[in-house]
Amino acid sequence: MEKRHMIILIVTLSSFSFALFVILFLICACRRKRNESWDEESNPNVKENGVEEIEMKGDFIRFEGAEDLTCFDILDAPGEVIGKSSYGTLYRANLLSDSVLLLRFLRPACTIGKVQDVMRVVQLLGSIKHPNLVPLCGFYSGPRGEKLLVHPFYKRGNLAQFIRDENRDSHKWEIIYRISTGIVRGLDHLHTSLQKPIIHGNLKSKNILLGRNYHPFVSDFGLHLLLNSTASQEMMEDTAVEGYKAPELTKMKESSTETDIYNLGVILLELITGKEPINGKANPDQDLYLPTAIKNAMLDRRMTDLYHPGVLENDKDGSSRVSEDAVIKFVQLSLDCCSPSPSLRPDIKQICRKLEEIGSKS
């Protein structure tokens, strides 16, 4: 009996996936043929208030910079899973054209339900272009509510890996400073340059991707806007457990620009100290409020224990790359971002200015 059930289950499942595959294939084939008319139909830049009219069943939208991309290219590309979370899966897809893309599949159950709301968020995210933000190149929405976000792939990995791997470059002030200013500029764009601020909602060193010459790209911003409240809550809690937990989040349940600034502060501390934030899973009893430890050390004037041993190292010709004063100011700025009181944290513009000041004096 057991065996028969198994077989029935397997047959049902495989015919289901086969049917799904055929449907996807047909949709893509048919989209391809209608390529010319497709543009006017679903190009997000064309109509502002026509969102509701876009038919979502198997729709693929391309954004600026990815005009050549087709849904066929993407769904047809061999891919490998590179990450999994409660709300979705990340794939690396190798296209026939030799380009590599990052695909983010969102589980239908975890996303917001209303088609219009999804489209509004996707168009908003797709319109955001900044040298320090990972762009959204395309968005596919399947007939069963599958959602696929298409991004460029960054082969050099993320900031958390870069710090953890003890790469010599991660000890260099010049690189620390370059990465910091890039992240701050990206976040500044989200918080101040758009009609309405976009709260990143999931800022952490794993979500900072690195390009050539350690040029940082902030990723995952606004993703919480696509998730239902349970899923976005889970995402926030996962990140909090990794050490990015603004103290007010114990009472309130929503991320804000202030919680973004808190997370930014933790990232800046990771960069300058080379240490990982306190992981709540590994240390269930520990106070996750990392800066307490650092503040105590500051009071003890044990500053030199804090940052990377290499940060203050001299160049070959004996000249120091950075003054100790600049490093201390950097640590102080990071700690200000992590202030327990949200209203005492600097806003992103103030952080930009402070960082520039520190850079000009280092």
Ligand X SMILES: *[C@@H]1O[C@H](CO)[C@@H](O)[C@H](O)[C@H]1NC(C)=O
Q: Which is nearer to ligand X, 231 or 331 (CB)?
A: 231
Q: Is 324 in the site for ligand X (CB under 6 A)?
A: no
Query: How many CA within 13 A on the CB side of residue 6?
Result: 3
Strand, helix or coil at 211? coil
State the burial class of residue 19 (Cβ atoms within 10 Å of its Cβ: 0-12, 13-18, 19+).
exposed
User: Cβ closer to ligand X: 88 or 216?
Assistant: 88
CB of 111 to ligand X, least distance (A): 8
Edge to edge, the sheet with strand 147-152 lists 59-62, 138-141, 147-152, 100-106, 88-94, 79-85
Does 234 engage in binding with ligand X (CB under 6 A)? yes
- Packed helices 348-361 and 324-337: angle between N→C axes, nearest 10 degrees: 170
- With CB under 6 A, what is the number of residues at the site for ligand X? 8
Region of 14 please: left (phi>0), alpha (psi -120 to 50) or beta: alpha
Q: Can you tell me which of 54, 93, 102, 110 binds ligand X, judged by CB under 6 A?
A: 110
Site stretch for ligand X (CB under 6 A), options 174-182, 207-215, 225-233, 288-296: 225-233
276 binds ligand X (CB under 6 A): no
By CB under 6 A, the residues from 61 to 100 that bind ligand X are 86-87
From the CB of 237, what's the least distance to ligand X, in Å?
Answer: 11
Candidates 159-167, 224-232, 297-305, 307-315; binding stretch for ligand X (CB under 6 A): 224-232
- Residue 2 beta carbon to ligand X: minimum distance, rounded to whole angstroms: 29
What is the radius of gyration, based on Cα positions, of the chain?
23
Task: List b or e across 217-227, with b for residues whose CB sees 16 or more CB atoms inside 10 angstroms.
Answer: bbbbbbbbbbb
Q: Binding to ligand X by residue 109, rule CB under 6 A?
A: yes
Among 94, 127, 228, 323, binds ligand X (CB under 6 A): 228
In whole angstroms, how close is the CB of 209 to ligand X at the nearest point? 25
Mark the segment that binds ligand X (CB under 6 A) among 17-25, 136-144, 223-231, 283-291. 223-231
Tell me how far CA of residue 147 lies from CA of 87, 252, 361, in angstroms: 11, 29, 47
Question: Which is closer to ligand X, CB of 86 or CB of 167?
Answer: 86
* CB of residue 173 to ligand X, shortest distance in Å: 42
Q: Is residue 144 a contact residue for ligand X (CB under 6 A)?
A: no
Q: Judged by CB under 6 A, which stretch of 226-234, 266-274, 287-295, 338-346 contacts ligand X?
A: 226-234
- For residue 230, the one-letter residue type is T
Which tokens belong to 136? Answer: 């959204």
Give the DSSP H/E element, type plus range, for residue 236: helix 229-241
Please report, as ranges, the residues that interact with ligand X according to CB under 6 A: 86-87, 109-110, 228, 230-231, 234
